[in-house]
Chain A
Amino acid sequence: MREITYAQAICEALDEEMARDENVILLGEDVGIIGGNFKTSVGLYKKYGEWRVKDTPISESGFTGLALGAAITGLRPVVEIMFSDFMAVCFDQIINQIAKIRYMSGGQVKVPLTIRTPIGGGRSSAAQHSQSLQALVAHIPGLKVVLPSTAEEAKGLLKTAIREDNPVVFMEHKMEYNKKYLVPEGEYTIPFGKARIAREGSDITIVATSSMVMKSLDAAKELEKDGIETEIIDIRTIVPLDKETIVKSVIKTGKLLIVDEGHIRCGIGAEIAMSVLDDVFYDLDLPIQRMGTENVPLPFSPALEFPLIPDAKKIYQKVKQMM
C-alpha cells in the first residue's frame, strides 16, 4: 500500500487500462493537455497521443454521442463530463441513445462505454455545479451506475467499468479528488454488484454511497464512544444492487439507515429501502430511515449550503434518534 490521492488513483486506472487495451480512448473537455479539470488524466495525452486522449469542444451531446458511435464500432471510450450537472445537456444521448441501442437492436450491438462525471456539493459551486444526479441515471434501464467511495475503490471499480461491455455511468465525488488514501500497489479490479462491509457492527446498518461512506465512518467513531456499534455498507454500485448484503446485515442489526447525497425525493434512499423491505420487514425494530440533500437547489453561500447536505454530525444525530 502507498498513499496517493483519489485523482491519482483514477489516473492510474485510466493509464493501466489504456496500456492494456489500445481501443480504450478518453474524450472530454480539458482531458488532454492539462490532464483534466480535476487532474484525473495527467500525463495521458503525452503518453497516448491526441487521438486517444481527445480534448473536445464544449459539445456534450456531440462528443457523448460520438463516443457511442465509437463504442459500437470497436473502440472502448471513456467520456468525461466535467460536472454531473452537465449530463442534463446530453441526456438524450445518455438516456435515449446509449442506454437504448443494445436493447432496441435486439442485442446486435454491445456498448463498451464509460461516462465518468463528478458529483457532490461542498465547494460553494452553487446549484449548477453541485448536484448528485445518481437517481436520475439509475432510473433508466440499460445503464450501470457506480458510486465509488475511497481512492482504492475508485481505481478498482473504474477498471471494471472500462472492461464492461455495457454502458456505465461512473460518478466520482469531487470533494475526494485531492484527498489521500492508501491504495494497493499493482493491478486489481473490483466487481460490480458486490457491496463492501466498510465497518462491522451489530447495532445498526448504514448503507452509504460515495463520500457518505467516509462520513458514516466518521460518525461511527463517535457512536462507538456511546457504545453503539455501527455496520457500514459501501454499496459501490446502484445498478446492479447487492440486496443480499444489505438484507443479511439488517436481519442482524434490526435497523437500517440509508445515506446518499442526492436529493431525498425519489432518491436512492427510497429505492434501496423498498428493494429490501419485503425481506427485512419482520426483522426491523423501527421503520427504515433515509438521509440525503434537502429538496432545494444547492445554494452558493457555505452558510446555506452545508446545512442541507448530510455530514458526520447529522448522521451521528440520526443514529442516536434511531436507538
Chain B
Amino acid sequence: MNVQGYEKRQLLEFYSTMYKIRKFEEEVFELYKQGLMPGLAHTYVGEEAIATGACNAIEKGKDYVASTHRGHGHLIASGADLSKMMAEILGKKTGYCKGKGGSMHVVSLENNILGANGIVGGGIPLATGAAYTSKLKNTGQVTLSFFGDAATNQGTFHESLNMAAAWKLPVVYIIENNQFGISVSIKRVTAIKDLAERAKAYGMPGVVVDGNNVIEVYEKVKEAVELARKGEGPTLIECKTYRFRGHHVGDPGIEYRLQEEIEEWKAKCPIKRLKEALINNSIATEDDIKNIERDVDKQIEEAVEFAKQSPYPEPSEAFEDLFV
C-alpha cells in the first residue's frame, strides 16, 4: 500500500474510521448474540476500506450518499452519530429514525445520507435523482451510490446508469463486490469477471479497484468525483472485497464459502494492511495506533450505553411520520 504523499493526520483519520466501523459492527454482533437487538443486521466487517476511502473523497455534509442494507459503514464514514445509530439498531426512540427504520434503513439527513435500503438495488434510482437535482440546480454536489455485486443484476442498476450517463449526472456508482449475494457467488449467476465492464454498455468509465486498500479506493473515487463535479458525468467503480462474516448476524457464512478462501481474505484485512503501512513507513507508532483504538473503543462503549439506556418509542408513535 502506497501511502506516499499523504499527511499523517489524514492517514490516521482513515485508520480511526475503519477501526470504528469494525468495532461498531463487532458490538452489533454482540448485541445480537445477547438478544438485545431486534431483527437482523448485515455487518460490514472486512469491507471497511470502501466506505472509508469513498466517503472521504467527497465533501461531507455537502455531497450526498445513498446506502444499502449493509450500510453502517457508510454512515460512520460520513460522520454519523454513533449513539443515534446504535439506538436505531436497538429500536429505540432516540435513534435516527425514532425506531421506525432499524439497521437496514438508517437515514441521516443531517449527514446527507439519503437512505439505506432493504430492497436490493432499490436505492440506485434515488441516488441518481439526487444527482438530477444537483445538475438542474447547478449546485456542484456529487452523489455516491453504494450497492453490492448482486444489485448489479437488478433492472434499477441498468436503468439508472443508463440515464445518468445519457444526461451526464454527477453521480459515482460504487459496487462493493464482496462476491456473494447471500449464498450465491456472483460467478454462478454472471458471466463477466469484472462487473465494472458493464460501464462500457452505458457510455461511462468503469474502474476496478482493490477494495481492501483504502488509499486506492480514496484515489479512484476522488478522480471520479472530480469528473462528476466538472460536469463530465458518472463513473462506475467496482471495489473487490470480501465479507469476513456471514450475510447477516445470524448467518455463519460457511456453507457456501471455503474456509481457505475466508482465511485468504482475512489475511488481506484492510485495517491490518493500513496499520502495517503506517508502521513500516514510520508514520505512526504502535502507541499512536493504540491511542486511536482506545479513543474509538470509548466512543463505541458510550454509544452502546446510550442506546441501552434509551427508551423504546410509545406504541402510539407508530402513527406518526406518515404524512407531512
Contacts and interface: CB of A to CB of B under 8 A. Distances in A.
Do these two chains really belong together in a complex?
Answer: yes
B170 to A, nearest CB: 12
B247 interface: no
B217 interface: no
Interface in B81-116: 95-101, 105, 107-109, 114-115
Contacts of A96: 118-119, 122
Contact of B101 (A72, A74, A106): A106
Nearest to A99: B322
Interface in B152-168: 155-156, 159-160, 162-163, 166
Nearest to B133: A73
A141 B125 contact: no
A65 B119 contact: no
A82 interface: no
Interface stretch (A50-58, A219-227, A307-315): A50-58
A66 B107 contact: no
Interface stretch (A36-44, A107-115, A209-217): A107-115
A61 B98 CA distance: 29
B320 A107 contact: yes
A109 B107 contact: yes
A70 B129 contact: yes
B322 A63 contact: no
Nearest to A101: B115
Nearest to A89: B155
Contacts of A196: none
Interface residues of B, number: 47
Nearest to B136: A51
A267 interface: no
A57 B320 contact: no
A74 B130 CA distance: 9
B258 interface: no
B135 interface: yes
Given A73-B134, A74-B133, A64 B125 contact: yes
Given A92-B119, A101-B107, A109-B109, A75 B133 contact: yes
Given A59-B159, A96-B122, A66 B97 contact: no
Contacts of A164: 324
Contacts of A165: 324
Contacts of A110: 324
A166 B160 contact: no
Interface string B135-157: 11100000100000000000110
B159 A69 contact: no
Contacts of B321: 102-103, 105-107
Given A74-B133, A101-B107, A61 B156 contact: yes
Given A63-B163, A106-B321, A107-B321, A69 B119 contact: no
Contact of A72 (B97, B108, B114, B322): B114
Most B Cβ at <10 Å: residue of A69, A164, A166: A69
A134 B95 CA distance: 35
B323 A166 contact: yes
Contacts of B123: 97
A66 B101 CA distance: 21
A190 to B, nearest CB: 18
A71 B129 contact: yes
B125 A93 contact: yes
B126 interface: yes
A51 B125 CA distance: 17
Contacts of A62: 125, 128, 155-156, 159-160, 162-163
Contact of A66 (B98, B118, B125, B324): B125
B19 to A, nearest CB: 28
Contact of B125 (A25, A65, A77): A65
A73 B129 contact: yes
Q: Which of A25, A65, A141, A165 has the most CB of B within 10 A?
A: A65
Nearest to B317: A106
B49 interface: no
The 10 closest A-B pairs by CB, nearest first: A69-B129, A65-B125, A62-B159, A107-B321, A105-B107, A106-B98, A59-B159, A106-B97, A66-B129, A69-B126
18 contacts: A51-B136, A59-B159, A61-B156, A62-B156, A62-B160, A66-B129, A69-B127, A70-B130, A73-B114, A92-B122, A96-B118, A102-B323, A105-B107, A106-B99, A106-B321, A107-B98, A164-B324, A165-B324
Given A65-B156, A108-B109, 13 more contacts: A56-B163, A61-B156, A62-B159, A65-B160, A69-B66, A69-B128, A92-B119, A96-B118, A106-B101, A106-B321, A107-B98, A107-B321, A109-B109
